[in-house]
């Protein structure tokens, strides 16, 4: 009971801090003058807005990246965006290529108004919520000036985090959005926790790689490793430059560089280098695309 009370108090404080932060930013970024709210405005937002979407498996440094982005009031940053699209993220994965127009309507209905708000205040909308990953194709079409950051993390570290959070155990609402194999030949029920979460890492990143190949526009794409973010000022500056934040004061980011964000508070599962041989082999059976990232899996 006390744990629940503490959780809700903490969330209330965080929400209020975020509310006043956004209020302060909006006061400094007044809306454009002489706006005509009609169908032409919606068309203009789709054609001219330049939102940034971070694609990932989750648990890959998106919270840290959010904290860096929040240092700059020019950026309108959303991490746990509402609606979060927990279930419909899975729906997008399952129906990718079947109902593309329907998926575009779903994601646009949930994001147009907040992207509009950023656009009318001359700010850059940034979403680091991994739930939009399987909507990448729809977002690329809806917003032709959008850009995408692919954030990837070592699969062993990702699996460790997922196991600590009881993924695929059905113990939290986010389980509704965890994808499952489409291939009926995969004996999912016989998979260990390591195999299930390794499969999730591979399938999600493989989806992103296919999207990047189909988009075929390097000016709209940036791929980076989570491990390269922490304490790496040049990498942060490179990311900011990619999203249109040029000639920034580099000193602004110094205080955030070595601060860990959203770290696992308690995790008894060993670090990857200390895994048993059979556990590493279980992971490697599911990881098919590591040649693109060259992580040490041995």
Q: What is the DSSP letter of 77?
A: E
Cβ atoms within 10 Å, residue 175: 14
Cβ atoms within 10 Å, residue 263: 10
User: Is 60 exceeded by the pLDDT of residue 20?
Assistant: no
pLDDT higher at 17 or 294: 294
Across 246-272, average pLDDT: 77
pLDDT 10s digits, 77-116 = 999 899 999 999 999 999 988 888 999 999 999 999 999 9
Residue 246 main-chain phi, psi, to 5 deg: -105, 160
User: Is 70 exceeded by the pLDDT of residue 278?
Assistant: yes
In the block, which residue shows the tokens 């526009």? Answer: 217
Question: Domain extents for the chain?
Answer: 49-292
In the block, which residue shows the tokens 């930013």? Answer: 25
The predicted structure's pLDDT at residue 271:
95
Determine the 3-state secondary structure of 55 from DSSP: strand
The predicted structure's pLDDT at residue 30:
78
* DSSP-H helix ranges across 165-291: 193-215, 233-242, 277-286
**What confidence tier does 263 reach under pLDDT thresholds 50, 70, 90?**
low
User: Is 60 exceeded by the pLDDT of residue 156?
Assistant: yes
Task: Report the mean per-residue pLDDT for the chain.
Answer: 90
CA distances from 22 to 15, 37, 72, 74, 244 (A): 11, 23, 12, 12, 21
The predicted structure's pLDDT at residue 261:
62
> Is the CB of residue 223 less than 8 Å from the CB of residue 152?
yes
> Is the CB of residue 51 less than 8 Å from the CB of residue 115?
yes
- 149's enclosing H/E stretch is strand 147-152
Q: Which CATH class is domain 49-292?
A: alpha beta
The predicted structure's pLDDT at residue 231:
86
pLDDT 10s digits, 187-198 = 999 999 999 999
């Amino acid at each position: 009971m006390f744990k629940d009370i503490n959780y809700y108090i903490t969330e209330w404080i965080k929400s209020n801090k975020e509310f006043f932060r956004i209020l302060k930013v909006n006061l400094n970024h007044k809306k454009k003058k002489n706006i005509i709210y009609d169908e032409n405005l919606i068309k203009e937002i789709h054609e001219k807005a330049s939102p940034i979407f971070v694609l990932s498996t989750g648990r890959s440094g998106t919270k840290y990246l959010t904290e860096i982005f929040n240092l700059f009031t020019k950026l309108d940053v959303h991490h746990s965006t509402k609606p979060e699209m927990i279930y419909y993220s899975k729906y997008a994965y399952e129906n990718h290529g079947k109902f593309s127009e329907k998926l575009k309507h779903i994601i646009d209905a949930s994001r147009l108004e907040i992207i509009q708000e950023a656009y009318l205040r001359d700010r850059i909308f940034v979403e680091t919520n991994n739930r939009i990953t399987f909507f990448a194709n729809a977002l690329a079409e809806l917003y032709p000036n959008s850009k995408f950051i692919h954030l990837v993390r070592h699969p062993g570290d990702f699996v460790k985090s997922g196991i600590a959070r009881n993924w695929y155990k059905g113990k939290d609402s986010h389980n509704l959005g965890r994808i499952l194999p489409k291939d009926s030949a995969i004996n999912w029920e016989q998979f260990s926790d390591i195999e299930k979460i390794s499969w999730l890492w591979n399938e999600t990143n493989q989806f992103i790689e296919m999207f990047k190949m189909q988009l075929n526009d390097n000016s709209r794409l940036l791929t980076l490793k989570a491990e390269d973010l922490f304490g790496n000022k040049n990498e942060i500056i490179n990311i900011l430059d990619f999203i249109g934040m040029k000639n920034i004061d580099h000193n602004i980011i110094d205080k955030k560089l070595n601060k860990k964000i959203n770290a696992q508070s308690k995790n008894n599962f060993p670090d990857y280098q200390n895994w048993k041989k059979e556990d590493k082999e279980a992971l490697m059976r599911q990881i098919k695309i590591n040649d693109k990232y060259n992580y040490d899996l041995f």
